[in-house]
Structure 1
Amino acid sequence: MRRRFVIEAVMVATYGQLLVPNRPVDYVIPYSTIMELYDMKEGAEPVMDDPEDDRHVKTKIAELIEFFQDPLNKKKIERALQVPWRESSPLILNENVSFIVMNALDNAQFGEFFDPIETEQILTAGRLQIPLLTDQLELQDRIIEAEAPVQIYDIEDFEFAVEEGISEQDWQTSRDL
C-alpha cells in the first residue's frame, strides 16, 4: 500500500532519504512550494548553514526543478493549476516515489498563526486526510497549539511513518481526548 504525505518541495531536496523509502510513497506538494525552489536556487541567502551542505542542497534543488520542468511533468502540473485544489497526475520519480502537485490556496483560515505556505500545507493535509511531513519543530508546535486538524510527522520519524504510522482511528481518538 502506498503511503501519502504532504511535504514542501525543499524538504525532498534537503533530505535524500525521502527519495529511497522502503515502501512506495506519494508526496503531495503544494505548488507554491515548488515556486519557492526557484528563489532558493538563485538566492544569495544560504539554504543550509554549512557551505558544503548548502552547495549540495542547491544542486539537488536544481535537479528537482529540472524534474518538474520535464515536458511531461510540466504538462501534468499545468493541468492541475487550472482548477483550485486539483491534484496533478502522479509525477513518477522511481518505482517507490512519486510526486503529486496540488493547486492549494491559502484562505487565511488560520489568520496570522501560519504563513501562506504553511497554511497551504495544513489545508492540503486536512483536505486529503493525509499526514504532513516536516522538519520544522516550531511549525509542529504551532500546529498542535492551534489544534489544526492534521496529523504531523517529524522528518526524523519518516521510517516509522512509512512502515507503521498512526492509524486514522487512533489519531482521531487521541484528538478527542
Structure 2
Amino acid sequence: MGRRFIIESVLVAIYGQLLVPGRPVEYILPYSTVAELYELKDSPEPVMPEPQEDAHVKEMIGELITFFEDPLNKKKIERALTVPWRKSPPILVNDMVSFTVVNSVDNAHYGESFDPVETELILTALHEKVPMLTDQVELVEKIIQAEIPVQIYDVDDFEFAVEEGISADDFKNLL
C-alpha cells in the first residue's frame, strides 16, 4: 500500500522528486491550492528567488495547470467541488503517483494564526488523518506552537516519509 500526504499543489511543481517516489504515493490536494496555481503562474511576483529557477517553476506550474485542465481530470475535479469535503476520484499522474483533489472548507477554525490555505491544509490533514508534506518551516513551527495534532514532514525528509515514516498509531501514541 502506498503513502498518502496532504500537500500544496505548487510544491509538486517546485520539487520534481515528489513525482518519482520509491513507492506509490497519493497526494491529497485541497482545491484552493489547485486554484492558487493560476495566480502563481500569472503573478509578477517570483515563486523562487533565482530568475532561472523561477522561470522553470512557472513553466512546471503551467504544465500542472494543463494536466488539471485535461477534460477527464477536470471532470473528476469538478465532481468533487459539488459538496464540501468531497474528494475527486484518483487522478493518475504516473505508475507511482496519483492526486486526489478535496473540496476542503476553511471554517476559520485556525484563522487567527494561519492563512486560509494553511488552515485548509491543516483541516484536510485532520479530516483525512493523513500527514502533511511542506517546505515551510514557519508553518511547521506554528503548528507545533498551536499544538495541532497533525503529523507533518518537511519536503527534505520526503524519502524517509515515503519509505519509513511514522505510523498513524505511533503518531497518536506520541500525543
CA shift for structure 1 position 169: 1.6
Shifted more, 42-51 versus 109-118: the winner is: 109-118
**In the alignment, is the contact (CA less than 8 A) between 2:13 and 2:60 conserved in 1?**
yes
Amino acid corresponding to residue 139 of structure 1 in structure 2:
L
| Mapped partners of 1:162, 1:95: distance in 2 | 15
TM-aligned CA deviation for residue 111 of structure 1: 3.0
1:86, 1:133 → 2: CA distance? 21
What is the correspondence of 1:111-130 to structure 2 with a 5 Å cutoff? 111-130=111-130
- Counterpart secondary structure, 1:173: helix
Residue 86 of structure 1 corresponds to 86
Q: Any unmatched runs of 5+ in structure 2? A: none
For 1:134, the equivalent position in structure 2 comes to 134
Is 1:148 aligned to residue 141 of structure 2? no
Report how many aligned residue pairs link the two structures.
Answer: 175
Letter in 1 for 2:129: Q
Q: The residue matched to 2:114 in structure 1 has which SS?
A: coil
Q: Equivalents in 1 of 2:64, 2:105: separation in Å?
A: 22
Counterparts of residues 14-163 of structure 1 (less than 5 Å): 14-163=14-163
How many Å separate the matches in 1 of 2:67 and 2:25? 17
The percentage of aligned residue pairs carrying the same residue is: 63
Q: 1 CA distance for matches of 2:58 and 2:102?
A: 23
What SS does the corresponding residue of 1:94 show, helix, strand or coil? Answer: coil
SS of the residue 2:93 aligns to? strand
Once residues 110 and 35 of structure 1 are traced to their aligned partners in structure 2, the CA distance between those partners, rounded to angstroms, is 21
SS of 1:12's partner is helix
Task: Say what the alpha-carbon RMSD is for the aligned residues.
Answer: 0.6
Q: Runs of 4+ in structure 1 displaced over 3 angstroms? A: none
Can you give the 5+ residue segments of structure 1 that lack an aligned partner in the other structure?
A: none
Q: How does the TM-score come out when normalised to structure 1?
A: 0.98
Scaled by the length of structure 2, the TM-score of the pair is 0.99
Q: The residue matched to 2:133 in structure 1 has which SS? A: strand
The 10-residue stretch of structure 1 (60-69 or 103-112) with the greater mean CA deviation from structure 2: 103-112
- CA distance in structure 2 between the partners assigned to 1:134 and 1:30 by the alignment: 13
Quick one: distance in 1 between partners of 2:167 and 2:43?
A: 40
Alpha-carbon distance in 2 for matches of 1:169, 1:37: 34
